Chain A
Amino acid sequence: MTETSDDKGSDSLVRIRGLRYARGDRMIFDGVDLDIPRGKVTAIMGPSGTGKTTLLRLIGGQLCPHEGSIRVDGQEVPELGRGELYRLRQRMGMLFQSGALLTDLSVFENVAFPLREHTRLPESMVRGLVLMKLQAVGLRGARHLMPSELSGGMARRVALARAIALDPMMIMYDEPFTGQDPISKGALVQLIRLLNDALGLTSIIVSHDVQETAAISDYMYVISGGKVIGAGTPQQLEGTDSDWVKQFMQGLPDGPVPFHYPAPEYVDDLLQRDTGSAR
């Protein structure tokens, strides 16, 4: 692939090159290159705490990278002015890990929120659209409930309905499957695929559920230790010979991918007692 300045018409909707980002002294991304192809479902996987949520926030322009380029639909996100960034975000949906529903609004009003903020549609049309989105996530009947009356899984499905309310060009799902029972998980998997194909969206899924994710994604990235350690179609990754990727795909506790947050040796920690135990 060539580093063209304008890739609006190209295959990748999101193109990340040489991304470096640090929180304090800790390097979260250390030279990451990623391409999210248009019209496809791309999964980003990796151990907990590697920075998957951070990556989505970088793409959404909520965080600013220290180095490198992040282009979405040909626009360099970190360099956009406020107006342009907000216009770009109207075309991105994001499902937050926590749902992030507005607690003073009902389920119906939460889904209607983006419509009311960004469009001047008549009330009957807003109602029609909201009911359609809620029907898609199976919660049309729960529209009068307040967010505090929802379970974690339900809240996330409402958040999903809200994320697709404006029919964006791209949706970023942060852990859509956590907290879902097998039935709604299955339904969500189908819904994500269906939305992607029927509406011609581009989807980015961040998830730990290897099986579900592999089943619907066209392309997968595995991130660990600030680098992309594996990329390919689900079949390619299944048959990989990289120890790192194999460990992750098969869910083995032992292997090169560390389960622990960086720490001194356990024995030293136990004996010394004072190295940072108070914080």
Chain B
Amino acid sequence: MLEWIRELGRGGFRYFEKLGRSTLFLIKTLAGIPAVLARPGLLVAQLLSVGVLSLLIITVSGLFVGMVLALQGYNTLVDFGAEESLGVVVSLSIVRELGPVVTALLFAGRAGSALTAEIGLMKATEQLSGMEMMAVDPIHRVIAPRFLAGFLSMPLLAAVFSAVGIYGGFFVGVGLLGVDDGAYWSQMQAKVDLYDDVLNGVIKSVVFGFVATWIAVFEGYDTVPTSEGVSRATTRTVVHSALAVLGLDFVLTALMFGE
């Protein structure tokens, strides 16, 4: 029993220690960002691997999510004779919620895990330590460009997801189920507000991008430098990012739409 309490205390200490380390790490990373902007080549390479290479999975997922929403929404709306509003249902769900959230979850699985594994392996093979001995700060040279690339990519990816999702809904709703073409778009234009809906969705995706990338690069940098350590860190990245995104989504939604 005493041992159990002791273990609880130790776990608590470890947790707060890690929180402290990750905050310090974040500060150092942010301090390295001006240096990255001075060398755009580094950033472009990372934007490619973090952002562009995630495009395919984001587009495909967006399309299917939009199509499913249209199917589900239509079945409910048609009972009330309100199938004209399908465009509103699809676009609001995607722009406010599913766009930022699903993109962030996919981003953590696709790009976040890759970032963690790459940085963790660089640590395990002494590449980071070698850089330090060459008087190159790995946080500036390796971490900061990756962090910035993730942070910038996430809102753009979410925007692509939303756009494709709305078209997915259009194909199914208008193409298959026979909703009126004009009604789909005009109802959407009338009911979706630029500030309340679109901007709030963008804010969400910015926050999720920041947190998910931070978790990914920190877990990589903090890896126990062994194969097992890298595999655990990669898992932690995906799990922690997913929990953080869902938790923050609730908080942000409550703040934005809770009145």
Contacts and interface: CB of A to CB of B under 8 A. Distances in A.
Contacts of B122: 102-103
Contacts, number: 49
A98 B126 CA distance: 8
B137 A86 contact: yes
B231 interface: no
B38 to A, nearest CB: 12
Interface of B: 121-122, 125-127, 129-137, 141
Interface residues of A, number: 19
Contacts of A96: 126, 129-130, 133
Residue of B122, B127, B134, B137 with most partner-chain A CB within 10 A:
B134
Interface string A83-114: 00011011010101010111100000000011
In the complex, the 7 A-B pairs of residues with the closest C-beta atoms, listed nearest first:
A100-B130, A89-B135, A100-B126, A86-B135, A90-B135, A94-B133, A117-B136
A234 interface: no
A90 B131 CA distance: 11
B135 A100 contact: no
Contact of A87 (B133, B135, B137): B135
Contacts of A23: none
A100 B129 CA distance: 8
B55 to A, nearest CB: 21
A242 B132 CA distance: 39
Contacts of B132: 62, 89
Contact of A102 (B127, B133, B137): B127
Contacts of B129: 62, 96, 100
Contact of B133 (A89, A103, A118): A89
Contacts of A117: 134-136, 141
Nearest to A117: B136
Contacts of A118: 135-136
B133 to A, nearest CB: 5
Contacts of B134: 89-90, 113-114, 117, 162
